[in-house]
Amino acid sequence: MGSALFRGGIHPPDKKELSADKPITEARPPQRVVIPLSQHLGAPCKSIVAIDQKVKKGEMVGEAGGFVSAPVHASVSGKVIAIGEFPNAMGRIIMSVVIENDMKEEWAILRDSPDYMKLPPDELKEKIKEAGIVGMGGAAFPTLVKLSPPKEKPIDTVILNGSECEPYLTGDYRLMLEKPVEILEGLKILMKVLGVTRGFVGIEDNKPLAVKAMKEAAEGQAGIEVCGLPTKYPQGAEKMLIKSITGREVPPKALPMDVRVVVQNIGTSFAVYEAARYGKPLIDRVVTVTGDGVREPKNLLVKIGTLVSHLIEECGGLKDEALKVISGGPMMGFAISALDVPVTKGTSGIVALTEGEIAHAGDFSPCIRCGRCIDACPMGLMPSMLSVYAEKGFYEGAKEYNLFDCFECGSCAFVCPSKRPIVQLIRVAKSQVKP
C-alpha cells in the first residue's frame, strides 16, 4: 500500500513541533457560546429554541434543514440570550443561537448504548444523524450523506484520514496518540453502517508515533490496516489519499463513492464513536491553537461556539508580531479579520502567523512560465494558464484548462516564485463561469 502515490504535491515546512507534544487539554468553559445554525455544507438548520429558553448541554437547538444538513446542539447548559446574525470565520453572516453558560454543565438525557456494535446499521446511522456529525477536517460535509450512497454505487472501502497534511495542525495527531482505540471503534461503526469489510487508516510518515499507536490499536482487528504514507502535501486531500491507499483515481467531477470508497476524518471517527456509544452529539472538538504569533501553542478540546478570542487568550494571547490569524490550516484555511467568531464543527485549528511566516498578498509579478505550479498540482492542472486567463478576464479560456477540477489546495501558489495569488485568481474565475 502507498505505492501508488499521487503526482505533484509540495513539502512546506510543517511547523508541527510547536504543538505536537502538547496533550489535548480542555479549554476553559466560555461565558457564552455562539452556535451558528449553518456549520456545514448544505441547508442551514432551523432554530428550535426561543430567547430566554433554558437549554441543557447536548440539547438540539437547530434541526437539520434538509437531507444534506446536520442538526446543531447546545455545547453548554444555560439560557438562550440571542438568536440572530453573527459573523463566522469565513466572514459570512450566519443565523446563530447565543447561549449564556450557567457553568453547571448539565447534560441533556443521552441514549447510552454499551453494546453499540450490536445495533443494526440503520440505528447506528440514526445516532450519527442525531449527533449532527459532519466532516471535521474542514469542509464539514454532513457525514450521514457520505454514509448513504445510492444503491447503484456500492462501497467496499472506508478510509480514515489521519494524514493531517496541513502544516501546523496537530489535533488529529494528538487524538490518534490519545484515543486510538476509540478512533478505530468509530471506523468499525462506519464500516458496519456501510456494510464494508475493508478499512484503512492513512497517516503521513512524519508522525511515526501516531502510526505506531494506531497500529498497536489495530492489531488483531480483522479488515483494518494502518498505512504510513509518504509525507507530501496534500496527502490528506480525499482524492490523493484514495489514490495513495487503494491506487484508484476518482475521475474528474466524480466523488469518492464512484470508486467505491468513503473517506472520513480522524476527529469525525472519534465523534462517531462517541455518538454511537454515549449518544453524545458533536458539541466539542479538538482545535490546535498555534503559530509563531501565539504565546503558548496548545491542543484544546473546545466547545463548539467558543469564540476564537477566548481560545487565543487561553493560549497566552497573540504576540505583537502576529499579523494574520487563520481558521484552519495555513494552506487552505480562512484568514479572519476579527477574533470574535465562533469555533464550528469544521474548525481544525487557529493559526496565528507572524510577518516572517506570511505570504505577502499584495506584491506579485507576471508569470515567468517556470512550470513549478504544473509540477506541484496534484490534479495535473496547469495553474499558470488558469491564473493568466483569470487575470486577463478570459474565464472561458480558464474553463478549457479544467478550471473546475481545482480544489484549491494552494500547492501552486505556495511554489510560485512570482508570488502570484493563483488560488485567488482561480476562485474569481470559478465565480464567473458555469461549470
Residues 49-108 that bind other proteins (CB under 8 A): 91
With respect to other proteins, which residue has the nearer C-beta, 51 or 370? Answer: 370
User: Is 419 among the residues that bind other proteins (CB under 8 A)?
Assistant: yes
With respect to other proteins, which residue has the nearer C-beta, 47 or 231? Answer: 231
User: Is 4 among the residues that bind other proteins (CB under 8 A)?
Assistant: no
> Please, which of residues 158-177 interact with other proteins by CB under 8 A?
167
C-alpha 17/C-alpha 330 separation (Å) is 15
> Please, which of residues 338-357 interact with other proteins by CB under 8 A?
338-340, 351, 353, 357
> Please, which of residues 215-244 interact with other proteins by CB under 8 A?
239, 243
Q: Closest Cα to residue 427, out of 411, 412, 406?
A: 406
Residue 327 DSSP SS3:
strand
Enclosing H/E stretch for 177: helix 171-178
How close are the terminal C-alpha atoms of the chain, in Å? 34
Place of cell 496548545: 298
Question: Total residues at the site for other proteins (CB under 8 A)?
Answer: 76
Q: What are phi and psi of 377, to 5 degrees?
A: -65, 115
> Please, which of residues 291-320 interact with other proteins by CB under 8 A?
309, 312-313, 317-318, 320
Answer for which of 263, 331, 343, 390 binds other proteins (CB under 8 A) is 331
User: Is 128 among the residues that bind other proteins (CB under 8 A)?
Assistant: no
User: Is 370 among the residues that bind other proteins (CB under 8 A)?
Assistant: yes
User: Is 431 among the residues that bind other proteins (CB under 8 A)?
Assistant: no
Q: Which three cell numbers stand for residue 308?
A: 476564537
Q: Which three cell numbers stand for residue 275?
A: 455518538
With respect to other proteins, which residue has the nearer C-beta, 197 or 337? Answer: 337
Query: Which span (116-124, 193-201, 260-268, 400-408) binds other proteins, by CB under 8 A?
Result: 400-408
> C-beta of 308: minimal distance to other proteins in Å?
10
C-alpha 336/C-alpha 146 separation (Å) is 29
> C-beta of 26: minimal distance to other proteins in Å?
21
> C-beta of 314: minimal distance to other proteins in Å?
11
User: Is 180 among the residues that bind other proteins (CB under 8 A)?
Assistant: no
Name the residue type at position 62.
G
User: Is 375 among the residues that bind other proteins (CB under 8 A)?
Assistant: yes
How many Cα atoms within 13 Å fall on the side-chain side of residue 121?
11
User: Is 369 among the residues that bind other proteins (CB under 8 A)?
Assistant: yes
- Given a contact cutoff of 8 angstroms between Cβ atoms, the answer to whether 258 and 399 are in contact is no
Answer for which of 336, 341, 343, 390 binds other proteins (CB under 8 A) is 336
The 78-87 sheet, strands edge to edge: 32-36, 93-101, 78-87, 54-55
Alpha-carbon distances of 24 from 18, 264, 288, 301, rounded to whole Å:
14, 21, 9, 6
Alpha-carbon distances of 239 from 30, 163, 331, 376, rounded to whole Å:
38, 13, 17, 15
User: Is 289 among the residues that bind other proteins (CB under 8 A)?
Assistant: no
With respect to other proteins, which residue has the nearer C-beta, 269 or 327? Answer: 327
Spatial neighbors of 117 by CB under 8 A, at least 6 apart, are 185, 188, 189, 192
User: Is 247 among the residues that bind other proteins (CB under 8 A)?
Assistant: no
User: Is 30 among the residues that bind other proteins (CB under 8 A)?
Assistant: no
